[in-house]
């Protein structure tokens, strides 16, 4: 569809309840187009539309699951934790028999500006207030399931809906359909952390298998197999298996990039974009927002040079605001800072794996192994 016909189709979907003033392209991923809509009454909306999905059944299935999980997450958090500023879903359709000829989700934009833009004119007091707000929201999400005895029996996976009692229904985790071998990947939900981590390593092996630059080079393929064996051997040392509190199911919001956090003029958290909640082991559910990160994939030692990254704040401010974040989160849930510390290396490893940052992962694994062995290679 041309942009003109797509804009008309979006207007047909939203009419008569909403009147579309303008439509602009805002981004594109494989088989998915993102549009920025301006409606009457100054309502801003982001629409994500599955394009050409009819020609790719795997892509269509993945997009349908993705949109369903996002809508289910928003509905669950809105009812379970009203203090979390979740976006309003304008329209959603998982079918292709509609005016845009593909699955779509349209969500009202959060209030405020994206974090990296909002902090440009903030003084330190505003940055501290913003950090406290974010910490309280993330720790509140994390704490929600820990306070419920019934949640201890939940499996690890994505929020797929709610049952008649309002309890979450846990569904599979599906990160990507782009790899041909991923069709046979078990997606969960997973009953324990070992099963979850084993699946992550299996998926990484399949990603390597589908990378022609690796699979066509015997030396490169063997290097990846060797790296996977070392990562598997490293897992027991970086996973808090002997601490049951760190293995309990906890609610998590994983998209903590600067562009996904929206901040109001006074520094308060206005909302979160791309909301998708998952149930993870507590040591993985607690996480730092990206603007306070200098570790793992955000470390200058491991960053992918093809993906340049500019820190939002200077290092001296980050060090101070991390302390602010820890204190604020601990007031909401004392175990949150503990989970941050005990799951740090495991979260870092999973981030490298999900980004397929092979060189960064190799150097990170070597450094961690050296640290754990007291400096020995």
pLDDT digits (tens, 9 = 90+) for 195-209: 999 988 988 888 888
HSE value, Cβ hemisphere, 13 Å, CA-based, for 237:
13
Task: Tell me the whole-structure pTM to 2 decimals.
Answer: 0.90
Q: What is the pLDDT of residue 183?
A: 43
Give 28-48 pLDDT, tens digit per residue: 887 889 999 999 988 999 999
Structure tokens at 197: 């981590």
Q: Is the pLDDT of residue 167 over 90?
A: no
Respond yes or no on whether the N-terminal peptide bond of residue 346 is cis (omega within 30° of 0): no
**Stretch 2-30: mean pLDDT, rounded?**
90
Q: What is the pLDDT of residue 174?
A: 64
Which position has the higher pLDDT, 58 or 41?
41
Q: What is the pLDDT of residue 372?
A: 93
DSSP letter at 190? Answer: B
Other Cβ atoms closer than 10 A to 369: 16
Give 97-136 pLDDT, tens digit per residue: 899 989 999 999 999 999 999 999 999 999 999 999 999 9
Q: Is the pLDDT of residue 180 over 50?
A: no
Q: What is the pLDDT of residue 86?
A: 87
Q: What is the pLDDT of residue 332?
A: 96
Cβ-count burial 181-211 (b if 16+ within 10 Å, e if not): ebeebebbbbeebeebbebbbebbebbbbeb
At residue 375 the predicted structure's pLDDT band, cuts being 50, 70 and 90, is low
DSSP letter at 110? Answer: P
Q: What is the pLDDT of residue 184?
A: 46
């Amino acid at each position: 569809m041309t942009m003109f016909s797509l804009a008309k189709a979006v207007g047909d979907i939203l009419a008569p309840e909403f009147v579309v003033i303008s439509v602009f392209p805002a981004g594109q991923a494989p088989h998915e187009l993102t549009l920025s809509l301006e409606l009457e009454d100054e309502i801003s909306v982001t629409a994500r539309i599955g394009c050409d999905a009819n020609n790719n059944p795997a892509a269509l299935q993945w997009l349908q699951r993705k949109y369903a999980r996002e809508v289910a997450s928003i509905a669950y958090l809105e009812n379970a934790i009203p203090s979390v500023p979740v976006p309003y879903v304008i329209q959603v359709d998982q079918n292709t028999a509609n005016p845009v000829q593909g699955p779509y989700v349209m969500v009202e934009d959060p209030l405020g500006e994206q974090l990296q833009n909002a902090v440009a004119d903030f003084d330190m007091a505003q940055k501290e207030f913003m950090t406290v707000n974010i910490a309280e929201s993330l720790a509140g999400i994390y704490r929600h399931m820990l306070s419920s005895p019934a949640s201890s029996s939940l499996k690890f996976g994505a929020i797929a809906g709610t049952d008649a009692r309002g309890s979450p229904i846990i569904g599979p985790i599906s990160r990507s359909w782009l790899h041909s071998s991923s069709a046979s990947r078990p997606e969960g939900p997973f009953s324990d952390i070992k099963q979850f981590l084993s699946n992550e390593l299996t998926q990484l092996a399949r990603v390597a298998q589908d990378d022609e630059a690796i699979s066509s080079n015997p030396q490169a393929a063997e290097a990846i197999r060797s790296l996977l064996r070392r990562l598997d051997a490293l897992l027991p040392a970086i996973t808090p298996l002997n601490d049951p509190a760190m293995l309990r199911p906890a609610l998590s919001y994983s998209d903590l990039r600067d562009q996904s956090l929206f901040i109001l003029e006074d520094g308060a958290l206005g909302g979160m974009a791309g909301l998708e909640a998952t149930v993870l082991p507590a040591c993985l559910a607690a996480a730092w927002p990206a603007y306070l990160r200098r570790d793992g994939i955000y470390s200058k030692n491991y960053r992918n040079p093809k993906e340049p990254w500019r820190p939002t704040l200077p290092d001296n401010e980050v060090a101070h605001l991390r302390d602010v974040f820890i204190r604020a989160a601990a007031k909401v849930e004392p175990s949150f800072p503990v989970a941050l510390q005990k799951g740090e290396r495991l979260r870092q490893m999973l981030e490298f794996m999900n980004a397929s940052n092979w060189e960064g992962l190799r150097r990170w694994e070597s450094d961690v192994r050296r640290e754990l062995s007291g400096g020995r290679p």
